[in-house]
Amino acid sequence: MAKKIIALDAGHGMGTLGKRCLRSIDPAQTREWYLNDRIADRVQELLGAYDCSVLRVDDTTGDKDISLGNRVRAANNAGADIYISVHHNAGINGGSGGGTVVYYYNDSEMRAKAQRLYDAVVGSTGLAGNRSSRVAVGNLYVIRYTRMPALLLENGFMDSTKDTPIILTEAHAEKTAQGIVGFLAAELPLRKKDAGQQAGKPSGGQNGSSLPGRKEVYYPAYAGKKTTLAPALASIGVNSSYAFRAKIAKANGISGYIGTAAQNTHMYNLLVAGLLKKV
Ligand SMILES: [Zn+2]
């Protein structure tokens, strides 16, 4: 069985305008990106226990709001098996209620998947939705143009007196991540790594050098602390010079490499997922 690839997207960037908690409820006006990213990071961590690859199609530093087109392209190019986009909602304007909503794009099969994600997340967080549709059709770019099953989670409202204090907590983020991972493990399905593999080296080793059933050979997945491309490559013993990164870019379908943050972030995310093709 080929290793499953999960594309994960923490919506927006840190600086994206407007996306933040309502000041009257959260004086710090916490950014949506922060809430989304905290959950996406934890999902990625928890998935480390399973035999799968996680491809972050966003900028995990939050510096850049990667375009929706580029997020979708990255997932499609990697041949991801599922795409999960994590968001928090707005639209209650300081009222109460809200809760969880899962969006899907098209058919009844996707609706059933969306319902299973909703059930898994709400089963874990307890933050049930009280909107007319808790599982809803959404004409949203990342779920419309991805070529794999794709779901967008709106994990509570940033302008609800009920939801906001809950979604700001670490405990809620943890429960949400557990719900998402439980859903993915059952849905794809995912196999837990055996004990030896799980306790293995943080990077390299038998794990990540190639994916069974795939022809290309990949660099070992980078599993260290969140950083940028060059230090991540260096830490796994790969030449991180500009000239060599340009070669890696070419091998990974990036034409005209000039070392932009977006190009480097994309390659970094592939490296973390164990999907960066070797030169
Ligand atoms: Zn959002």
Contact 89, 158 (CB under 8 A): yes
Q: Tens-of-pLDDT digits for all 279 residues of the chain? A: 689 999 999 999 998 888 999 999 999 999 999 999 999 999 999 999 999 999 999 999 999 999 999 999 999 999 999 999 999 999 999 999 899 999 999 889 999 999 999 999 999 999 999 888 899 999 999 999 999 999 999 999 999 999 999 999 999 999 999 999 999 999 999 999 876 665 544 444 444 444 555 556 899 989 888 899 999 999 999 999 999 999 999 998 888 899 988 888 889 999 998 889 999
Residue given tokens 């898994």 in the structure block: 120
Which ranges of the chain does DSSP label H, i.e. alpha helix?
32-47, 68-78, 108-125, 141-144, 163-167, 170-187, 195-198, 229-235, 242-251, 261-273
Identify the pLDDT of residue 180.
98
The residues that bridge with 54 in the sheet, in sequence order, are 6
Chain centroid to CA 56: 5
Query: Hey, how many other C-beta atoms are within 10 angstroms of the C-beta on 162?
Result: 18
- Buried b / exposed e over 124-135, threshold 16 CB at 10 Å, is bbebebebeebb
Contact 141, 68 (CB under 8 A): yes
Q: How far, in Å, is the centroid of ligand 1 from the Cα of 235?
A: 33
Which domains, from first to last, does the chain contain? 4-187 (3.40.630.40), 203-273 (no CATH)
Contact 24, 94 (CB under 8 A): yes
DSSP state of 126: -
Identify the pLDDT of residue 226.
86
Q: How far, in Å, is the centroid of ligand 1 from the Cα of 65?
A: 11
Question: CA geometry: angle at 153 spanning 22 and 27, to 5°?
Answer: 15
The residues that bridge with 137 in the sheet, in sequence order, are 104
Neighbours of ion ligand 1 (CB under 5 A): 11, 87
Identify the pLDDT of residue 208.
44
Q: How far, in Å, is the centroid of ligand 1 from the Cα of 237?
A: 37
Q: How far, in Å, is the centroid of ligand 1 from the Cα of 91?
A: 12
Nearest by Cα to 188 from 41, 54, 42, 66? 54
